[in-house]
Structure 1
Amino acid sequence: MIVNISENHNSHSMISGVLATPELRADRWISVLYLARKWEKTKEESIKEQILSVLKNLEEIELYFSYPGSVCFNRLNDYLKEDDSKGFLRLSQRISTTIISKKFHRDVSVWDVENYEDDPFNRLPQAISHVKAKPYFEVLSVVPHARSRWQHIKEETRGVRRPEDEFIYETVVIGNAADALKGILLNSDIGSVVLYEGFEKGSNGKDSFLEVFKEVIDFSSLDEGDFLSLRLAQAIKKIRPELDIFLLSDQSIEYFSGKPESRIFNRIFYQMEEPLEIHLSILEAIHVRYRTPFFDNLKRYAERPIATFHALPIARGKSVFTSNWISDMGEFYGPNLFLAESSATTGGLDSLLEPTGNIKDAQEMAAKAFGADRAFFVTNGTSTSNKMVLQALLVPGDIVILDRNCHKSHHYGCVLSGAQPYYVEAFPLVEYSMYGGVPLKTIKQSLLKLKSQGELDRVKMVDLTNCTFDGHVYDTRRVMEECLAIKPDLIFLWDEAWFGFAHWSPLLRQRTAMGAASAISEALTRPETLAAWEEQQKTLGENPSDDMLLETRLVPDPRRVNVRVYQTNSIHKSMSALRQGSIVLVKDVKFEHVESQFHEAIFTHASTSPNLQIIASLDVARRQMQLEGYGLVANAMRISLEIRKQINNHPVISKYFKVLSNSEMIPEVFRKSGLSEYNDKNISWSKAVEAIKNDEFIIDPSRMTLSCGHAGFDGTTFKNILADKFNIQLNKTSRNSVLLQSNINNNRSDIALLIGVLNDISIDIENKFQKNGNEYKNNFQSSVDELIYNLPDLPNFSRFDDRYRDDPESHTLHGDIRSAFYDAYDESGCEYILLNSSEIEKRLESGPTLVSANFVIPYPPGFPIMVPGQVITEEIITFMRKLDVKEIHGFNKDLGLKLLKKKIAE
């Protein structure tokens, strides 16, 4: 039983409420404080009735949280009954501010209900005083006992605490499986679960809160078999796989402990015969996740007295702190940065190139955290990660199906490996000068075309970006399954530079590469998967047409499929890692066959002097996400959804700015659910579920494309205004928009700053209208029209010149990009033509063909509109001439286009 999650003072939609579930409780407590202030001021009975209603809703939610607890909550109700508005205000302020600030994590005084009036609200929390607070978490205990016993259970767990404990926890007690699932969905502080054998299933009727999750996350185990504790543990792992689970049973635990399925539990105990041992086991399990092998060793290394005779003068910091000229650098960064620097790989520091100690341990922990089989740390960004994977898995002559609009590292990876890219096009969003994702039908068409020409055996990889810079997220599982149905041994590389955080969202995890790979691996073992393939074969027949294959939701043959999935993440883009901290995640059943060449790729690209601080930050980022990532990601979702709502509903801001909706970012054909906007209050559960589960593309909720063209700003100009005048920084722009990103670093104060700035800019525009008359309005509207309506068409990839194609007569698009790239090194074989020269029109009409000698990448939109060896078309020239951006990589306007002369092929 729980109140409809859309009922909060912000009136979010159902889907937005689901995405930000752990944060909704705080909103309700703020509502209590708001009403308490009104009641204290007016003493109106109607406000008291509103408070009663909110508290009734909160009472159902507070079941799943330790703080403030039943004693404190009952005290609030007593104040209401006694009409003590002043006491109610004091206590509600204490509770709400403590919850918002999470002060109960670090200050034991806030738990003292009896003496709360003696504790001023501005008291310094323990973490800021001289005594460092112990990290805090909560334990969910699912028990078969009567509710009257729950408080006693909490007291018992407090009774086994010891001063030497590394961590501190409070217990949340509930009585059935359904409430257990709600608890881990609502309470992000829960770090461990203890299951007492004998609890009930609960929620025999439909539970609206769980229904949406049940459709997206597989809870089917709860409806199967008799061993409810095991089935609940399996369901919990589907939601939050990082949680530790302990079982207290009165059954034959010796027999069950020998079964494979028992491994889902950290440990199994015989009922409550060892309360201290249970307590220590809970703390030890948290310690396992808390441990950061490399970072811990680096801290110990920094504490040792070491004399350095290696080539890193900055190590230990003596050259800095004793300097007459650069000591300010030491003052700025502090001593630990220099004490933790070394050029050596001994003394406990390990080697990133061939790790055997703590880096190896840290990578294994990262692999487990992300749901991968293996993980490799990279200290020079995901650009390098992508090139490593491509070089390791591809050889000259291989074909890779490649999103033409992906990051340039993928294109350069083809140059390095000698693989031939077969470029596939994403759907265009011309009105915003950007591309979305590559439709599945387009990918399947490329595979079927290569198959018809006898070249399918050369296709080794499908390489796509998930999510794109602008937030387009694939249905990764469907893409891989349908491609594997055409070619069962395909390798997939998913560039998830921007999407690493998604693993800690139970709704978004399924759309990550590792999440989908795990789901496919599990499905391949089920008999129904083979049955589905056999049934499909009957429908398709022996020789299905390409049209039939394109229109069919293909099922792969589970007997032939090899799951070979690689995922690259810029940890620094969405987690607490230093810049250029990246990771390669691997789930490849054939990895042992490519492991040696993968290590060769690491040797090729990784620095022999990797930054130790970046490695440490990757280690720490993993720790943080495993212990609090679920709540942090939920907060980032909440920030984004609130920004969307505030901007798009504001009476003044919305005239000039808008966060583009799902329907504006994704064509209807790819949104079968019909979901148009995350904050649509009228959306039904079924639509919400269908979108997340089945739509071909969704928008990453944390990414917001803010249209600024109606305010008369192009993206680059507006980005600079925000940075220079208002200290608001952002990254990506388009011709008429900027990209806002919410992440685990943002808070509600950031929302207030952004909304305030946009309001000031909007009011300034309106004031200029009033002061400057019609001429200003006309000029302003002309600028808007230029940005909104007079937009260049986005050019598609044309083709490689015949000299770089294996078979010039074929109709496939792949080509030898490597040869073209190195042909451009011969200056005598190249020529330059100015972009606005009439010579270009003559060449386009009568030849010789214009062939690009290099990559040409305008920012924005940030994709290569020309690659080495590509034939330049009229559409490309038109686009280039209309571009008004200042940054175009590979193009010098004073020299013009660099072209490969025809004589190279002769």
Structure 2
Amino acid sequence: MIYPVSSKETPHSLISTALATPALRADRWLSVLSLARAWADSHKDTTKTALVAALTDLKAVERFFAYPGTLLLERLNSWLEDDDAKAFLRLAQRISTTIISKKYHRDVTAWNVEELEDEPLNRLPQAITHLKSRPYFEVLSVVPHSPARWRLIQEEVAGVRRPEDDFVYQAVIVGNAPDALTAILLNPDIGAVVLYEGFASEGGEANPLLDVFRSLIDISPTGDDEVQIIQLAQAIRKIRPELDIYLLSDRNIETLAGRPEIRIINRIFYQMEEPLELHLSILEGIRKRYKTPFFDNLKRYAQRPIATFHALPIARGKSVFTSNWISDMGEFYGPNLFLAESSATTGGLDSLLEPTGTIKEAQDMAARAFGADHAFFVTNGTSTSNKMVLQALLAPGDIVILDRNCHKSHHYGCVLAGAQPYYVEAFPLIEYSMYGGVPLKTIKQALLKLKAQGELDRVKMVDLTNCTFDGHVYDTRRVMEECLAIKPDLIFLWDEAWFGFAHWSPLLRQRTAMGAAAVMTEELAKPEAIAAWEDQQKALGENPSEDTLLSTRLVPDPRAVRLRIYQTNSVHKSMSALRQGSIVLVKDVDFEHVESQFHEAVFTHASTSPNQQIIASLDVARRQMQLEGYGLVANALQISLEIRKQVNSHPIISKYFKVLSNAEMIPEAFRQSGLDDYNDPDISWGKAIQSIKDDEFLLDPTRMTLSCGHAGFDGTTFKNILAEKFNIQLNKTSRNSILLQSNINNTRSDIALLIRVLVDIAMDLEAKILENGEGYRKAFAHQVRELVDDLPKLPNFSCFDDRYREDTTGDTLHGDIRRAFYDAYNEAECEYLPLDSQELDTRLQSGPTLVSANFVIPYPPGFPIMVPGQVITQEIVDFMRKLDVKEIHGFNKALGLKLLKR
């Protein structure tokens, strides 16, 4: 068994193991350390037997890591064989703490076989201090040689390293393709791969970890070395596309280099003819990813002596550091923040509006990193990114299929563009006062209805949120394929504000817009794609019914399809970028035809004085994710899975709180696999694969909805308690829940803090219930009932008033939201009615129709329950009257609802 299993009492499920594979290594070492302590204390043979088994299990994983390496593991074994429990404990403690702290990344003494006392950094020899300052990575070598030669290969690799190298690396050696894939799945430190021609196609033992990836990669055995090399390289790219791959061949490499498919290899060498060149190529590959063009340039700019005569007094910091009154600002932020500020785009800096230098280079690098054709940095958030895309691609009168529950920027984008939203409803989760995602059937129904009414040509875009605030992830590929089967030139805008990190998870990547785009580009180019479309056309016949089309998984005609995909990411929400750092990613075969209008949208929305630090942070965030994002995301996934397990299995916490499972967040109809919970230890590999591949909706593991209604807390109250009493911050709530998010910034210590706080709160509730009388218990039960059972029905979008609809005879939902929005500017044509007034009830019953003059957006739940021009229904009013939130955008309680007069 080569996949890690948690040492906790409740085992991780196979799917949770696959999602968080690299991050679970430390658990195994801590398990060994725990047994070592018990053995040192008791000297029991049973404990030693358990330790032998744990160490044997650990070795199966450790062969895929450079540290601790063969020598340290042999020394550990020798202490075990000699029954020296204390020596074994010392070394196990040293290795486990070094792995957890990653000390071996920065301190060469961690690799020494002999025990050394830790010394302060400033006492280390100069050579070691220099080494510590260089980033560390590992190189995977897949070789045909016997294991007896592997140590020699590692020594040869170490022999070409030089003091002037920018980076330091160690070699990891394996002998076959399955082991190579296992290594890159388990070891996030691997930054490059070297393939020696002639490696084995199959491993010597069963490899259950790879089963979950078999549907994504082709590692079938072949007798053709060249095909085998290409297959393995393709498999590596599908799992970790950021890795550089090098080939050492002893055949006619000139002919091999001419094969088109070999382009997947970064460089080919004639065996070990040039070991130094291979070494330098590996470093150059890492250097390319490490490069941050704009950030590097900004650092150089900050070091130059510059006199400023532009309108930015804070630049260079003189007005701050020489001030009697605000010098503390300079002390707080430090000089570099001010030295790296400028209002000029000359003197080596670049313009975000029309980049031609380092910003352009940084954007191109970001595009390649995310698998896009183009990337555009945005410094005022994804709200602006969304409006840029909508304004660039839509014109007045165009129809956009839009999730009514999406972020308000999409609705305002329609107002700006003059596009007409056709609102489609997400599935409701009434018991938690939230919505999920929009079912594919609902989207297809909208397209088919518009087609039937002769308006399909006006539909330009499908605009959806992936993942939603609460973690609902679409099957992006299926949505796009089926929509393109109805209208092959549709544009897709996927708002992935919360999901940018998913590109660095091999399982979640395929559900991102750019991940799906890559797969679709490859699949639509195959001859089988045309055959599949032709076969379906024969099966459907000339005039299939709407029911038939809705129940069929539609196949697009690859000859007609125009792949036009846009993805917006709030980089600051899941990567190491400053607040408001966002990016627009483009995969559009017709971008050259809309590029000028896209730039016009940029000019419209982007500031002419963008924040240089935000631009630099976007550059740096890309660097980090390309070099260590795989491991960071795996850690975030492990943390979320551990929180779920700890909360839901705790005997006291689970009485009052629960992290909602997949089954509770996604109705069964959208979980074809039947996956109920990530931490279900009985889940099969088949179900895990099916869930990730085929479920209409998947739950983002890093987004944890914590139900707090059974504790008597509404979401807002509980959020404030956590912030004010326990220094735990979060931002999203519902009527009876809060949203916890794990990200690349979280640690295991954060889990411990959260669990401790929840225990304290739960025990305090227990004490109050026991200590107070029957009256208190009845009041508490009543409060819980109101939060858990007495929940308002979530209202659907009604319709636009007839004056904002072009065709009042049909039943399609789109309307002229822009005209309604600006009609409300005329106060003489508006009126106000208090929410609780009798007149409002009378109008609902007998008219005239109530028409909203503006957006009304309660927080929570955060979706617009009214938009300009929308007819207000009894359902909407009932929902608003039951809301107990303080923040409702667009509603003035003193005045009441703002209405457009009839």
TM-score by length of 2: 0.98
Contact 2:4–2:21 under 8 Å retained in 1: no
Give yes or no for contact 2:142–2:180 (8 Å, CA) kept in 1. Answer: yes
Contact 1:466/1:499 (8 A) holds in 2 = yes
Match of 2:847 in 1: 847
Question: 2:109 aligns to what?
Answer: 109
Map 1:809-824 → 2, pairs under 5 A: 809-824=809-824
**TM superposition shift of 1:776:** 1.1
Q: How does 1:589-600 map to 2 (within 5 A)?
A: 589-600=589-600
Equivalence for 1:219: 218
Aligned to 2:360, the other structure's residue is in SS state: helix
Counterpart of 1:509, as a letter, is: R
Listed as ranges, the matches of 1:750-789 within 5 Å are: 750-789=750-789
Asked if the contact 1:4/1:208 (under 8 Å) is kept, the reply is no
Does the 8 A contact of 2:821 with 2:853 survive in 1? yes
- The corresponding residue for 1:550 is 550
Distance 1:272 1:530, change over 3 A: same
How far off is 1:207 after superposition? 2.7
Corresponding residue SS for 2:680? coil
8 Å CA contact retained: 1:8, 1:24:
no
Q: Report the Cα distance in structure 1 between the residues aligned to 2:180 and 2:721, rounded to whole angstroms.
A: 49
> What corresponds to 1:57 in structure 2?
57
Cα 1:124–1:212 change in 2 (3 A) is: farther
Contact (CA 8 Å) 2:312, 2:343: kept in 1 or not? yes
Q: Distance in 1 between matches of 2:838 and 2:124?
A: 72
Q: Distance in 2 between matches of 1:773 and 1:19?
A: 48
Aligned position for 2:531: 531
Q: Do residues 497 (structure 1) and 497 (structure 2) align? A: yes
Q: CA deviation at 1:4?
A: 6.5
Indicate conservation of the 8 Å contact 2:247/2:265, yes or no. yes
> Are 1:659 and 2:659 an aligned pair?
yes
SS of the equivalent of 1:749 reads helix
- 1:258 Cα deviation after fit: 2.2
Aligned amino acid, residue 887 of structure 2: E
How far apart are the structure 2 equivalents of 1:636 and 1:336? 31
Q: Return the letter of the residue paired with 1:379.
A: T
In the alignment, the residues of structure 2 paired with residue 834 and residue 91 of structure 1 have an alpha-carbon distance, to the nearest angstrom, of 73
1:574–1:744 contact (8 Å) kept in structure 2: yes
- Report the residue type matching 1:839 in the other structure: E
Indicate if the aligned counterparts of 1:580 and 1:614 stay in contact, CA closer than 8 A.
yes
CA gap of 1:752–1:7, structure 2 versus 1, over 3 A, is: closer
Kindly provide the amino acid, as one letter, of the partner of residue 430 in structure 1: I
- Per-residue CA deviation, residues 663-717 of structure 1 (Å, 9 max, x unaligned), is 0000000001000000001111111111111000010000000000000000000
Offset at residue 775 of structure 1 (A) = 1.4
Matches for 1:134-153 after TM superposition, within 5 Å: 134-153=134-153
Which secondary structure does the structure 1 equivalent of 2:100 belong to?
A: helix
| Alignment partner, residue 43 of structure 1 | 43
Q: Which residue of 1 aligns with 2:884?
A: 884
Give the equivalent residue in structure 2 for 1:792: 792
- Indicate if the aligned counterparts of 1:9 and 1:28 stay in contact, CA closer than 8 A: no
3-state SS of 1:213 partner: coil
SS of residue in 1 equivalent to 2:764:
helix
- 1:28 correspondence with 2:28: yes
CA deviations over 1:160-198 (Å, ceiling 9, x no partner)? 111110000000011011100000000000000000111
C-alpha distance in 2, partners of 1:124/1:519?
A: 53
Change beyond 3 A, Cα 1:128–1:751? farther
- State the shift of 1:262 in Å: 2.2
Question: For residues 30 and 780 of structure 1, what CA distance do their matches in structure 2 show?
Answer: 42
Answer yes or no: is the 8 Å Cα contact 1:38–1:47 preserved in 2: yes
- Asked if 1:631 corresponds to 2:621, the answer is no
Which position in structure 2 is the counterpart of 1:97? Answer: 97
Aligned to 2:86: 86
User: Is structure 2 residue 190 aligned with structure 1 residue 194?
Assistant: no
Residue 257 of structure 1: how far off its partner (Å)? 1.5
Give the secondary-structure state (helix, strand or coil) at the position aligned to 1:214: coil
Contact 2:4 2:17 in 1 (8 A): no
Give the conservation status (yes or no) of the 8 Å contact 1:5–1:18. Answer: no
Q: d(CA) in 2 for partners of 1:127 and 1:871?
A: 75
Stretch of structure 1 that moved more, 875-884 or 55-64: 55-64
Aligned residues: 900
Q: Secondary structure at the match of 1:269?
A: strand
Distance 2:374 2:408 in 1: 25
Residues in 2 aligned to 1:3 and 1:312: alpha-carbon distance in whole angstroms: 56
Give the C-alpha shift of residue 120 in structure 1.
Answer: 6.3
Give 5+ residue unaligned stretches, structure 1: none
Displacement, 1:9? Answer: 6.2
| Compared CA separation, residues 598 and 766, structure 1 to 2 (3 A) | same
Q: 1:106, 1:126 within 8 Å by CA — same for their partners in 2?
A: no
Q: Within 2, Cα distance between the matches of 1:121 and 1:603?
A: 53
Which amino acid letter does the alignment assign opposite residue 350 of structure 2? D
In 2, the alpha carbon distance for the partners of 1:136 and 1:285 equals 14
1:166 aligns with 2:176: no
Contact 2:7 2:28 in 1 (8 A): no
Between the aligned partners of 1:724 and 1:584, the Cα distance in structure 2 is 36
Distance in 1 of aligned mates of 2:643 and 2:122: 32
Which residue in the other structure is 2:587 paired with? 587
Deviation (angstroms), 1:224: 9.1
Deviates more, 1:771-780 or 1:47-56: 771-780
Question: How far apart, in 1, do the equivalents of 2:219 and 2:533 lie?
Answer: 22
Q: CA–CA distance in 2 between the matches of 1:369 and 1:126?
A: 38
Structure 1 distance, partners of 2:220, 2:521, is 17
Contact 1:107/1:133 (8 A) holds in 2:
no
Q: Is the 8 A contact 1:569 1:584 kept in 2?
A: yes
Look up the match of 2:743. 743
CA drift of 1:265 comes to 1.2
Q: 1:120 to 1:46 in 2, by over 3 A?
A: farther
Large movers: runs of 4+ above 4 Å? 3-10, 120-132, 220-226
CA drift of 1:773 comes to 2.0
Using the TM superposition, give the Cα deviation of residue 128 of structure 1 relative to its aligned residue in structure 2, in angstroms. Answer: 15
Which residue identity is paired with 2:714? D
- In the alignment, the residues of structure 2 paired with residue 845 and residue 224 of structure 1 have an alpha-carbon distance, to the nearest angstrom, of 78
Q: Relative to 1, partners in 2 of residues 1:772 and 1:9: Cα closer, same or farther, differing over 3 Å?
A: closer
What is the match of residue 803 of structure 2? 803
Deviation at 1:222, TM superposition (A): 6.1
| CA distance in 2 between partners of 1:318 and 1:788 (Å) | 58
What secondary structure is seen at the aligned counterpart in 2 of 1:423? strand
Give the conservation status (yes or no) of the 8 Å contact 1:313–1:319: yes
The one-letter amino acid paired with 2:712 is G
Q: CA RMSD in A?
A: 1.6
SS at match of 2:832: strand
Distance 2:323 2:122 in 1: 41
Structure 1 residue 540 displacement after superposition: 0.3
Aligned equivalents of 2:278, 2:262: Cα separation in 1: 17
Q: Which residue of 1 aligns with 2:74?
A: 74
Contact 1:857 1:864 in 2 (8 A): yes
- 2: CA distance, partners of 1:7 / 1:97: 17
Is 1:572–1:579's contact at 8 Å kept on the other side of the alignment?
yes
Q: What corresponds to 2:375 in structure 1?
A: 375
Does structure 2 conserve the Cα–Cα contact (< 8 Å) formed by 1:425 and 1:797? yes
Q: 2:108–2:128: 8 Å Cα contact kept in structure 1?
A: no
Other-structure match for 1:245: 245
Q: Within 1, Cα distance between the matches of 2:461 and 2:804?
A: 20
Structure 2 runs not aligned, ≥5 long: none
Matches within 5 A, 1:303-702: 303-702=303-702
8 Å CA contact retained: 1:656, 1:708: yes
Q: Which amino acid aligns with 2:154?
A: K
Q: 1:605 to 1:511 in 2, by over 3 A?
A: same
Q: Which moved more, 1:561-570 or 1:119-128?
A: 119-128
Which whole-Å CA distance do the structure 1 matches of 2:41 and 2:772 have between them? Answer: 46
Task: Give the match's secondary structure for 1:178.
Answer: helix
Question: Secondary structure, in 3 states, of the residue corresponding to 2:214?
Answer: helix
- Measured after TM superposition, the shift of residue 574 of structure 1 is 0.0
8 Å CA contact retained: 1:224, 1:231: no
Deviation at 1:30?
0.5
Amino acid at match of 2:531: A
CA contact (8 A) 1:66 1:172 kept: yes
Give the distance between the partners of 1:303 and 1:3, measured in 2 at CA. 49
Kindly state the Cα deviation for residue 104 of structure 1 after the two structures are TM-superposed. 0.4
TM-score (norm 1): 0.98
Partners in 2 of 1:85 and 1:660 — Cα distance?
Answer: 44
What secondary structure sits across from 2:17 in the alignment?
helix
Residues 748 and 230 (structure 1 numbering): CA distance in 2 closer, same or farther, change over 3 Å? same
